[in-house]
Amino acid sequence: MFPLIVFSVILLLTDLYAFKGFSLLLKDIKSLWFKRLLKIFFWIVPAAVILSVYLVFIVNTGNKELWIHNGLHYIIGFTVVFYVPKIVFIVFHFLEDLIHLTVKLTRGLRFQKPAKSFKGGEKITRSVFITRLGVIVAAFPFWGALNGITRWRFNYNVIREKIAFPNLPETFDGFRIVQISDLHIGGFRGYYDKLAEAVEIINSQNADAVFFTGDLVNNFSSELDGFTELLGGISSRYGTFSVLGNHDYGDYFQWSSKEAKERNMTELLEAKEKMKFRLLNNSSYILSKDDSEIAVIGVENWGLPPFPQYGDLEKALQGTSGYPFKMLLTHDPTHWDEEVLPRTDIDITFAGHTHGMQFGVETGNIKWSPIRRMYPRWGGLYREEDQFLYVNRGLGFTGFPGRVGMPPEITVIDLVRGDSREAV
């Protein structure tokens, strides 16, 4: 309960200060009932957020009902939609308070000194001007977060890369891989048609192989109920290869017993088998085409703390040393820097995990997301000498139920034989 109490106090302090600026905007409204209505609406938002969080916490204890866990995502979304703009607003209001205090201390000027009027309008005070400006600026994150939830989270983005390798066998020249990652399938409940759209896009790429790099569920195998047949319809010449992500182990739920958690994992693995997702749990698979062979390697989740390190790369590599070309599926991109680069000759690694934080800017030469502070390799193609890493930004969501500037991704990578290991 202590974190919830701290969360509630922070929220209330934020609202109290924001209400001070909000009240300033209400001064020019003459209708008393309309003023009261706006004030009531202002306080309904924090009351709804705090009450919802406490209800979810109470009901969530040991409860596997998916609507409860999905409900938490929407509480997070509701909080982001209203409180990020509110924080922007109070920055402006704080700036005005700071200016007012500075003026009082240094020059003793009156706070309500008239400011310049707008053209054709009445004069307003500096405090009202800055506060109104804060409302205008705050409207942008409000609009962005709202659209991220209602529209953009299903705007699938197909990203195409072509990479040349001199050691790729000739028979594999033009080998096409479609990578998907981080489905967090529970978030698609109620949006079956949206997932069906993603599967249709995947199948239309005419892939030789599909790579799924972890986080099929949020916690529970039951999230897949009603989706296994759809996901089993993902097609490619050599099939779908997959690994486990940190969420797939059910580590973020307080299970009633060790046996219950193990049963959940067993059911998840059975669902993967039913969907024909070939699971590479610290193991490898040899792809054969004509008289040539290449190795596909997969490890369990391996990340820096607090994420688990179940992956055993040494075990997964056993029996692959004689093959000319190697590909690795691993969920967390930090694994590439920590173990793959310094210890192996793996040609290309596929990872996910970061989601691009579901927020960022990617246009032209600009590529930025706040997640880069935690993951320097957070999205897209990376290269170190003769080795490549591709980090998929994810197809689903977790936490905030939306995407802003970071659309869900389906990656298409064509491997070609060439003299230069350059992305084309």
Per-residue pLDDT of 150-207, as tens digits, reads 999 999 999 999 999 999 999 999 999 999 999 999 999 999 999 999 999 999 999 9
DSSP string covering 254-292: --S-HHHHHHHHHHHHHHHHHTTEEE-SSEEEEEEETTE
| Alpha-carbon gap, residue 31 to 373, rounded angstroms | 48
Structure tokens at 324: 């000319």
Residues of the chain below pLDDT 70: 56, 58-63, 107-124, 420-424
Residue-level pLDDT at 124: 66
Name the residue ranges covered by the structural domains of the chain: 2-150, 157-417
Structure tokens at 19: 């209400």
| Alpha-carbon gap, residue 211 to 183, rounded angstroms | 13
Tally of residues, the chain: 424
Backbone angles phi, psi at 393, to 5 degrees: -85, 5
- Which residues are bridge partners to 294 per DSSP? 287
Residue-level pLDDT at 212: 98
Structure tokens at 356: 């691009």
- CB contact at 8 A, 422 and 162: no
247 Cβ contact partners less than 8 Å away, ≥ 6 residues apart = 184, 214, 215, 217, 218, 219, 398
Q: Which amino acid is at 176?
A: R
Q: Report the half-sphere exposure of 177 (CA within 13 A, side-chain side).
A: 26
Residue-level pLDDT at 76: 87
Residue-level pLDDT at 69: 75
For residue 21, with 0-12 CB atoms within 10 Å meaning exposed, 13-18 middle and 19 or more buried, which class applies?
buried
The CB density around residue 79, as the number of other CB atoms within 10 Å, is 22
Residue-level pLDDT at 421: 47
The CB density around residue 330, as the number of other CB atoms within 10 Å, is 32
| Alpha-carbon gap, residue 143 to 82, rounded angstroms | 10
Question: Can you name the CATH fold of 157-417?
Answer: Purple Acid Phosphatase; chain A, domain 2 (3.60.21)
